[in-house]
Amino acid sequence: MSTAHEFRLPDLGEGLTSADLIEWTVKVGDTVALNQVLAQVETAKALVELPSPYVGVVGELLVEPGTTVPVGTPIIRIEGSADLRDPQSPSVLVGYGPTAEQPSRRRSRIAPHPQPLPTPERRPATPSARRAARESGIELSEITGSGFDGAVTAADVAGALGLKAPSNNATRLASSGMRNRMASAMVASTRAPQASVFLTADVTPSMGLLDRLRSSDAFTGLSLTPLTLAAKALVAAIASHPMVNAHWDEARGDAVIDDHVNLGIAVASERGLSVPNIKSAEALSLVQLARAVTELTVAARAGVTDVHHLTGGTVTITNVGVFGVDGGMPLLNPGEAVILCLGSVSERPWVIGRKIEVRSVVTLTLTFDHRVLSGEQAAKFLSFVAEMLTDPDLLLSHL
């Protein structure tokens, strides 16, 4: 006798109670294999692909794309199916699987499944473009895509709409789970009493160190930038300034020093700002840290960061210098005591021994939670970070 299974939106972990269904990768009548990707959903933290725990034929799609779905809600019915999951092992979601089984943090499908071939009814498009098109009531078939292989992007949708605005010339942009989370985090951040200290440093010796390291075999294929050295200096300086790696306990009204340095890297993408963190960064060599920064940045820009790396951060570094900005005064990542901002490294006149020379100079900004750190503690910590970037020998002693 034929049986049927309703696949419910699984618990995505980390307190997530819902997700937006972005698109189906199957249709009614399709034969589904075990671990074949059924749909792509977007949480407040990342894009996630849902693999099927069943084999059978798709009988009904129970949720329309663009719908916000609570965890536990039936989303698809698969007919004549069998549940082939190991009852002792939970189903692994692509992008959320155990790190021990995934040496790379980049997303990989559990079972290769080709996307449906583009047809006049199904234009190739990014998930954000499909969502924007649905919410604006425009057909993808009316839009010329500028993305890879002619895929329609969110920018193409906006362009096709001509940024149609209400009568007051304002334009309302579709939001996403990540942007909503970013907005909520920034509001939460402002509840902490924040202050900032600034320091401009001559980092010419560190730039020379970078050039030497880039030519070494150990760093072949890795992105080695001023951010990498600044991140290493930040982590190394915490060893003698442990309060930097603390957080304020609202319930008890005191500060708690964390055992490990989970270093957050602020990454901007078209989907919004995310801050994935490198676990136990204090235990990593410079090579390992460079590799971790590269992998997390690539994953975050693709929107496929493992949720494990999106929670539990203890300290953050952000690099506004990549945008040609001299410096900034960032807001704290909620639950952390400091964030270090790295400005652009540029050649400027600098006084050395009463003589003016052209040097590579950078402005560092440290924003801190004044409940956890005093101004003196913050200033001494920032000075020590700058000292390591100014003196490569001091920095190398911590590598």
Q: Identify whether residues 212 and 306 lie together within a single domain.
A: yes
Among residues 113, 241, 308, 370, the one annotated as catalytic is 370
The whole domain housing 29 covers 4-101
pLDDT tens figures, 221-264: 888 899 999 999 999 999 999 999 999 998 888 999 999 999 99
Q: Identify whether residues 217 and 342 lie together within a single domain.
A: yes
Query: Could you tell me if residue 217 is inside a domain?
Result: yes
Query: Could you tell me if residue 112 is inside a domain?
Result: no
Largest CA distance in the chain: 92
Long-range own/partner contacts, residues 161-170 (CB < 8 A, 24 or more apart) = 161/136, 164/136
Instruction: List the end-to-end C-alpha distance of the chain, in Å, as a whole number.
Output: 65
Q: Identify whether residues 76 and 38 lie together within a single domain.
A: yes
10-residue stretch averages of pLDDT, the chain, 399 residues long: 82 72 91 90 76 91 89 91 50 39 32 38 65 73 73 74 52 59 67 92 95 89 90 96 93 92 89 87 93 89 79 93 92 92 96 94 96 96 96 80
CA distance 340 to 314: 12
Q: Identify whether residues 149 and 206 lie together within a single domain.
A: no
Provide the pLDDT for residue 158: 73
Q: Identify whether residues 242 and 388 lie together within a single domain.
A: yes
Query: Could you tell me if residue 115 is inside a domain?
Result: no
Provide the pLDDT for residue 327: 93
Provide the pLDDT for residue 102: 33
3 state SS for 147-164: CHHHCECHHHHHHHHCCC
Query: Could you tell me if residue 108 is inside a domain?
Result: no
Q: Identify whether residues 259 and 338 lie together within a single domain.
A: yes
Query: Could you tell me if residue 53 is inside a domain?
Result: yes
Query: Could you tell me if residue 120 is inside a domain?
Result: no
Q: Identify whether residues 240 and 334 lie together within a single domain.
A: yes
CA distance 142 to 129: 13
The CATH number linked to 135 is 4.10.320
Q: Identify whether residues 86 and 147 lie together within a single domain.
A: no
Phi, psi (deg, nearest 5) at residue 272: 130, -170
Check if 370 is active-site: yes
Residue 261 in tokens: 């340095």
CB 168 within 8 A of CB 194: no
Provide the pLDDT for residue 266: 92
Total number of domains constituting the chain: 3
Q: Identify whether residues 135 and 251 lie together within a single domain.
A: no
Phi-psi region of 259 (alpha: psi -120 to 50; beta: other; left: phi over 0): alpha
Q: Domain boundary residue among 66, 85, 101? A: 101
Query: Could you tell me if residue 323 is inside a domain?
Result: yes
Q: DSSP class of residue 346?
A: E
Query: Could you tell me if residue 110 is inside a domain?
Result: no
Q: Identify whether residues 264 and 319 lie together within a single domain.
A: yes
Provide the pLDDT for residue 357: 96
The CATH number linked to 300 is 3.30.559.10
Q: Domain boundary residue among 117, 141, 174? A: 174
The CATH number linked to 24 is 2.40.50.100
Q: Identify whether residues 152 and 209 lie together within a single domain.
A: no
Q: Identify the H or E element spanning 342.
A: strand 338-342
CA distance 281 to 185: 23
Task: State the Cα torsion 273-333-291-245 to the nearest 10°.
Answer: 180
Helix residue ranges per DSSP H, the chain: 127-136, 154-161, 177-189, 204-214, 226-238, 286-302, 375-390, 392-396
> What does pTM read for this prediction?
0.61
Provide the pLDDT for residue 139: 78
CA distance 360 to 383: 17
Helix residue ranges per DSSP H, 163-312: 177-189, 204-214, 226-238, 286-302
Q: Identify whether residues 163 and 213 lie together within a single domain.
A: no
